[in-house]
Amino acid sequence: MKHYLIIFAHKPLLNQFRIAELKSAIEAEEIKEIYYIPYYENKGNERVRKPIERETLIELYNDKYLVVQMKNDEEAKRMTERCSFIQSIQEIWGDAKDLESCIRHAKTYAKENRERLEKEKEEKQTFKINVNTFGTKLNKKKHFEILTNITTTQILKDVLGKVKLSKPEREFEMHMVFQLNDEQSKTQEENKQIKNAKRKNKYKVKEKTDDMVNEKMKYMLRAIFAKKIADGGREKLVTYSLKTRPYIGTTSMSAELSFLVVNEAKIRENDYVCDPFVGTGSILLAAQIYGAHVIGLDLDIRVLKGNGKNHYDNIKHYQINKNMDLLRGDLYQHKTCWRVGEIFDAIVSDPPYGVRESCSRIGRTEYLKVEEKYQENHIAARVPYDQEEMMADFFNFAAYTLKMGGRLVYWLPSPVQFHIPNDLPYHPSFSLIRVNFDQLTLTRGRRLITMEKTKPFVEAKAATYHNTI
Amino acid sequence: KLLTQNMLCCLKCNAFPLDIQATKIEEEKQFYSKQFIQRMLTRIDYEALVYTTKQLNLPPLPEKMPAEEDMVDNFYYNMHKLLLEIRIEEGTLECQSCKRTYPIHNKICNFVLRDDEIMEKEMYDRKNTLAARQEMREKRAEEQDTPNLEEAEKMMDTILSQ
């Protein structure tokens, strides 16, 4: 079991999803042994370790670093490639409060694992060290001092290898976290005053002397020396972003949120996934990237055909080697027309709630028979689909067609004040796992709800379910 | 795709399987993965597949699914071709019992009933559920007379035996 350092990327509106994504990636890759090691708790020489849960990690919503204990490099790599909020994962060699003690830690680590590290050096001979600071900027002198300190210590010299600055085979990073002085951290008002003064050319910049830099170094909180193992999935956000996609619409979900949905649903290669409210297919595209086969259903045929461009254009653009099957279907009609009980591995969707797309089903308030000559090209009339009825049908459909242990993931619009077990829809064969909140305005937002099928579906009780929501 | 046709029943009468009458078929190559087909073979109705291959005049399949030991790589590859690569571009899906046709246009099937058909179905279902509920009520009324007697007899037996 080794210690690893996870470095998060900073996205102010979506930081809340970080740890949920980590947890869902752990479940998706079936990693069993992973613990969180808080920095400030020590029992003698050993560090205290805790399981990863959101309640213990709420304080870290805005922090950049997270220390974690895992078995392998392999598992660490698999986990980070699924997460789009992680910049990289690194193997910790030294972790302490000062620079010098950090280098001492690194020495002892290198001593203990000498054989393994010398084997690595034979395979990967070139290396590079980056120095990252969180809270200040460093002088060039100090930067150089730190590098020479590390590379001239005896034991580390034997293990590191040759220096190569462009595309080395191993990358090391030296992280230093500083605490901001009271003088340095400025409030919003002070920042505004400075801006106004700059406009009027009255603001003078203080020159930085060596003394000032040394003062800042006194407030160092933490220093970590680590070797990079893998980059996180942030490249995916760039390649699959909506800005370059050929076929999008008003209801398409952004790449970050659709990858989050796919991670929560534990979608792996060779899964069979369904979306009963496809629309433009943004969530299913994310599922296909992870290797799943996909079916999409929608009542609106304009969205399935596309306006010159198609779902299939998306697939060609990203060179995905799978195809998707599309059907025009109404959930109210086809909820009981699937032959076998357990077909799908996961059901993922963003049901319509009447804001950006109309929530309706086929029907009429009064019965009117269509004559035979008009039956082929008849465009059916629509009736508004009651939300409670829709959720009941959706749950029954999912309970009928999902395998045991399969996941149902969907978005629910809800106000900010919300009582979690009582206000959510309930179904006897599903158990609630997690709820994530995405706030859109001051009073409203939408919640991502994941449920897992734990009990089999009883058909006789389907009718009574309508009354329990 | 044939994989989806294997899972669908008629919307009106819940009959299975639906006949395919295709006027245009396209074959697209897809990435072959053995594990996916192994998984799907447990969820497929094999007889329905055999039936549809006969309808579409494709090379015939053995009538019974071979045992797990006899499954050769060739078999998996043939199933992969059948299930995933054949795509029906234009045609119809037809129900055998009520003769309702669902047209397929541009690889998208219009799997939807008209509004008057749905109203008919609702009225039919309502009648059925009403009848079913009345039966349940009658059954419960009958049962309420007997179990109390049986339970009382059991209690008396246990007390007397002590």
- Say what the pLDDT of residue A51 is: 73
Return the pLDDT at A41.
55
Closest C-alpha to A6, from A20, A24, A19: A19
B113 touches chain A (CB under 8 A): yes
Residues B126 and B118: their CA atoms lie apart, in Å, by: 12
pLDDT tens digits, one per residue of A186-218: 566 677 777 777 777 766 666 555 555 555 555
The residue-averaged pLDDT of A398-416 equals 84
Nearest CA in chain A to B101: A376
pLDDT band at A236 (very low <50, low <70, confident <90, very high): confident
Confidence of residue B106 (pLDDT cuts 50, 70, 90): confident
A68: nearest Cα among A8, A142, A133, A130: A8
Q: Which of A45-59, A280-294, B13-27, B31-45 is predicted with the least confidence, judged by mean pLDDT?
A: A45-59
- The C-alpha atoms of residue A97 and residue A177 are separated, in whole angstroms, by 9
Nearest CB partner across the interface for B111, out of A328, A339, A343: A328
Taking CB atoms and an 8 Å limit, are B8 and A339 in contact across chains? yes
DSSP string, A141-191: HHHHHHHHHHHHSHHHHHHH-EE-SSS-SEEEEEEEEEPPPTTTS--HHHH
| Of A262, A250, A268, the residue nearest A349 (C-alpha) | A262
Helix (H) or strand (E) holding A176: strand A170-178
**pLDDT above 90 coverage of chain A, percent:** 1
Q: For residue A211, what pLDDT is reported? A: 57
Query: CA B131, CA B139: separation in Å to the nearest integer?
Result: 13
The Cα of B115 is separated from the nearest Cα of chain A by a number of Å equal to: 5
Whether B112 and A333 lie within 8 Å, measured CB to CB? yes
B87, closest residue in chain A (CA to CA): A325
Q: Is A338 in contact with B9 (Cβ distance < 8 A)?
A: yes
Cα A420 to Cα A434: distance, rounded to the nearest angstrom: 10
- pLDDT at residue A62 tops 70: no
d(CA A347, CA A295): 10
* B24 in Cβ contact with B89 (< 8 Å): yes
Question: Which of B108, B112, B113 lies nearest to residue A326, judging by beta carbons?
Answer: B108
CA A345 – CA A403 distance, rounded (Å): 6
B1 touches chain A (CB under 8 A): yes
- pTM assigned to the model: 0.78
Please, which residues have CB within 8 angstroms of residue A450's CB and are 6 or more apart in sequence? Answer: A24, A264, A265, A407, A408, A409, A432, A433, A434, A435
Integer Cα distance of A121 and A111 in angstroms: 14
When pLDDT is cut at 50, 70 and 90, the band that residue B141 belongs to is: low
- From chain A, the residues in CB contact with B16 under 8 A are 339
Answer whether A31's CB lies under 8 Å from A77's CB: no
φ, ψ dihedrals at B34, nearest 5°: -70, -35
User: Residue A206's pLDDT is what?
Assistant: 61
Averaged pLDDT score across all residues of chain B: 77
Task: Say how many CB pairs under 8 Å bridge A and B.
Answer: 104
Q: Which residue has the higher pLDDT, A355 or A65?
A: A65
Q: State the pLDDT at residue A23.
A: 83
| B39-48: average pLDDT | 82
Looking at residue A71, what is its pLDDT? 85
Whether residue A464 has pLDDT greater than 50: no
Q: What is the DSSP letter of A70?
A: E
Least confident of A67-76, A174-183, A234-243, A306-315: A174-183
Q: Is the pLDDT of residue A22 over 70?
A: yes
The average confidence (pLDDT) of chain A is 78
> How much of chain A exceeds pLDDT 70, in percent?
82
Q: Cα dihedral sign for A217, A222, A227, A232?
A: negative
A340 touches chain B (CB under 8 A): yes
Q: Residue A466 has what pLDDT? A: 46
Spatial contact of A315 and A324, defined as CB atoms under 8 Å apart: yes
Question: How confident is the model at residue A137, as a pLDDT?
Answer: 75
B3 touches chain A (CB under 8 A): yes
Cβ contacts of A301 on chain B, cutoff 8 Å: 108, 110
- Concatenating the DSSP letter of every residue in A327-370 gives EE--HHHHTT-BSSS--EEEEEE----SSSS--EEE--SS--PP
Quick one: pLDDT band at residue A468, thresholds 50, 70, 90?
A: very low
Among the partner residues A332, A338, A463, nearest to B7 by beta-carbon distance: A338
Sole residue written with tokens 């993922």: A348
Would you call A404 an interface residue with chain B, using a CB distance cutoff of 8 Å? no
pLDDT tens column, A418-432: 666 666 777 777 777
Cis bond upstream, residue A351 (ω within 30): no
Judge: B114–A363 Cβ closer than 8 Å, yes or no.
Answer: no
What are residue A129's phi and psi, to 5 degrees? -120, 130
B90 DSSP β-pair partners: B24, B105
A291: Cα separation from own chain's centroid:
18
Arithmetic mean of pLDDT, B114-137: 71
Residues A100-114, mean pLDDT to the nearest whole number = 84
Choose the mutation target among B114, B122, B128, B135 for the interface with A, i.e. most A CBs under 10 Å.
B114
Look at residue A463 in the predicted model and tell me its pLDDT: 46
In A, which residues are within 8 Å of B36 by CB distance? Answer: 270, 272, 293
In this complex, the residue of A295, A334, A363 whose CB is nearest that of residue B115 is A363
pLDDT of residue A404: 86
Q: What angle do CA A434, A439, A441 make, to 5 degrees?
A: 155
pLDDT, greater one: A442 or A350: A350
What is the average per-residue pLDDT within B59-82? 77
